[in-house]
Chains A and B, each alone.
Chain A
């Protein structure tokens, strides 16, 4: 039996056993859950081999499974996050209901993601894609709040994506006679011009849903915020990357062969940039941290899509690097929210405040991840952003880069809102009892934030796998052209040197931190946040000193025109209209048996009258 099969079997078996282990004991369940993830990850990492293929023979379809360098890269993200979020989940799910349900779907969706990555033919790709969809759907509705609205919205959009993908798959099969991805790539040139457009568009629609691309993104805010945070870490960090994975393949293999290549690339890139901009604005408006991060995720995925769509070597590098980084820091942030929600019972930024001293480790994780998210040097996020901008500028996308720049600048606003809302500001009595989250939750967050720090100065750790992934799809060797001894180059030969930056920043930071902190720590004493000067006056006890309402109101007022129109509302109105229409049409069945008989007679009359045309 092949390694891939073993891993999948362990996953499915583990999922089933874990789901029903609650009958034995809760701890056994936890251990089984963690054990499944660890076992699969260890087996996977010990047996990485991109050359083997497993073929499962069915009478009419052969399912081919095997690793490619690209899928290996994404598998790093999936397994890494799965392990860390898995530990975190054990902590977060402590004492919650439906633990078996959660673990089952969690494991299943990880398995499905792994399956997607190892699929070398489109059918198994689709199978795992759908397993991923429904297992994540079941987790989206886990909370039981707004299930009809949120869950259905997620599923419908996923179904739209999946089905357009399925349509593409069957068309491909009818044209090439095979489901293999490699056959699609080799046979793509022989297709008719219409099909050459149709197939990539359908595939991109499918992937665009999971990557939350502009008109298809409306599921994301609700779904991300509704799922348990330990899963949203995976959801936003790894699951959405499956859409990116698909897009990368489409762009690298299919789009490049098209005469309309630039047009499609531009359209998708612009969609990505618009997604990023609009969702950033919406993120600024949110008061619930989950929703804020959800919108932020959409925005970040927008950047990744821009990078992947532009498709120059540097842009591809940027997209894939950002994909990794986004997985790292966004899942940390979702974990942070989860930890806070567990400790305080709410994730509303308006309610929770001043946790910095109660949950210092969580704060550190959040701070580092936020800095990485904002793309500020010297953390990992910057590397990706830099590559993205450079690639856009050097490939003549000037307005696009402005738009991307706008959204990433505006992202500072919600970054600050997030940090300030939870950790800074007044320390209200209401939250004085809050303790730091258990270690099993904090450690994964810290590990992840450590990764962001490390990648800021040593991006080669993942640039190398990306390079081998890209050269597998015959892109020029990026690793040696664009990267040299901690320096990244763009096409024009301009560079940024990461190690000196990191050293410089670190030195300056330490100097001044020492200057301020260590020198004054002894001499000064800590006072509470109530002890402040408001224009020289001492505030009274009952005075409200917490600034929460309308946090970025002035900014939002300025950008109001851009936020007036909401895709969500249009789509919901459309759905409502459809339902009303169907409510009307179902009145055909009016309950009178005689009418049905009349229908029958009319049916036969119509057929008789049309008989000359029908059976000529």
Chain B
């Protein structure tokens, strides 16, 4: 029983990695530009999840010295990955916004969303 719980501990890693792989799979195989952008976003989310879970501490608390919890320093989860994820999310948002704008441009220019038909630049 203990062993299975051990594995359960890693489900969050597993989920994050699965998310990453799903996103990557989508980005690499789907033909539609929108789906590719979606895949990239999912992949980003997977990584963010992974980052957050690295900082997790069993039975830890949020890294906030809210009144009454001023001295729970040792129990606090690692705040650094959270701060980093905040930055990464915003950056991911910016990239996604630009990507979608590009998709709009591409659709207007090529009249298609299929990535294998947008090949004016090659060789």
Contact = CB atoms under 8 A, between A and B. Distances in A.
B64 interface: no
Contacts of B122: 589-592
B24 interface: yes
B28 A594 contact: yes
Contacts of B120: 591
Contact of A594 (B116, B121, B123): B116
Interface in B23-66: 24, 27-29, 36
Nearest to A586: B123
Interface string B95-123: 00000000000000000000110111111
Contact of B123 (A587, A593, A597): A587
Interface string A220-258: 000000000000000000000000000000000000000
Contacts of A589: 122-123
A598 interface: yes
Contacts of A601: 24, 28
A272 B21 CA distance: 66
Interface in A254-288: none
B28 A597 contact: yes
Interface in A577-616: 586-587, 589-594, 597-598, 601
A589 B121 CA distance: 9
Given A597-B27, A597-B28, A592 B123 contact: no
A591 B123 contact: yes
Q: Is the interface of A mostly helix, strand, loop or mixed?
A: helix
Contacts of A594: 27-29, 36, 115-116
Interface in A98-112: none
Interface in B1-39: 24, 27-29, 36
Q: Which of A586, A589, A590, A592 is the most central at the interface, judged by chain B CB atoms within 10 Å of its CB?
A: A592
A594 B27 CA distance: 8
A587 B115 CA distance: 17
A603 to B, nearest CB: 13
Nearest to A588: B123
Contacts of A598: 28
A593 B28 contact: no
Nearest to A597: B28
B112 to A, nearest CB: 13
B28 A591 contact: no
A590 B119 contact: yes
B28 A592 contact: no
A586 B28 CA distance: 22
A513 B118 CA distance: 86
Contacts of B24: 601
A587 B119 CA distance: 12
Nearest to A590: B122
A587 B123 CA distance: 5
B122 to A, nearest CB: 3
B43 to A, nearest CB: 11
B36 to A, nearest CB: 7
Interface in A505-544: none
Contacts of B27: 594, 597
Contacts of A587: 123
Contacts of A593: 115, 118
A591 B122 CA distance: 4
Nearest to A587: B123
Contacts of B29: 594
Given A597-B27, A597-B28, A601-B28, A592 B119 contact: yes
A590 B122 CA distance: 5
A593 B29 CA distance: 11
Given A597-B28, A598-B28, A591 B36 contact: no
A580 B24 CA distance: 35
Contacts of A591: 119-123
A587 B120 CA distance: 14
A412 B24 CA distance: 77
Nearest to B24: A601
Nearest to B122: A591
Interface in A313-369: none
Contacts of A586: 123
A227 to B, nearest CB: 36
Contacts of B28: 594, 597-598, 601
Nearest to A591: B122
A591 B119 CA distance: 5
A478 B10 CA distance: 91
B119 to A, nearest CB: 4
A334 B118 CA distance: 58
A589 B120 CA distance: 12
A354 to B, nearest CB: 57
Contacts of B119: 590-592
A267 B25 CA distance: 62
Contacts of B116: 592, 594
Nearest to B31: A594
Nearest to B30: A594
A580 to B, nearest CB: 14
A591 B27 CA distance: 16
A593 B39 CA distance: 14
Interface string B69-106: 00000000000000000000000000000000000000
A258 B115 CA distance: 64
B60 to A, nearest CB: 32
Contacts of B123: 586-587, 589-591
Nearest to A594: B115
A317 B27 CA distance: 75
A586 B118 CA distance: 18
A283 to B, nearest CB: 43
A6 to B, nearest CB: 53
B84 to A, nearest CB: 22
29 contacts: A586-B123, A587-B123, A589-B122, A589-B123, A590-B119, A590-B122, A590-B123, A591-B119, A591-B120, A591-B121, A591-B122, A591-B123, A592-B115, A592-B116, A592-B119, A592-B122, A593-B115, A593-B118, A594-B27, A594-B28, A594-B29, A594-B36, A594-B115, A594-B116, A597-B27, A597-B28, A598-B28, A601-B24, A601-B28
Given A589-B122, A590-B122, A591-B119, 16 more contacts: A590-B119, A590-B123, A591-B120, A591-B121, A591-B122, A591-B123, A592-B115, A592-B119, A593-B115, A593-B118, A594-B36, A594-B116, A597-B27, A597-B28, A598-B28, A601-B28
For the complex of A and B, list the 4 residue pairs with the smallest distance between their C-beta atoms, beginning with the closest: A591-B122, A591-B119, A586-B123, A594-B115
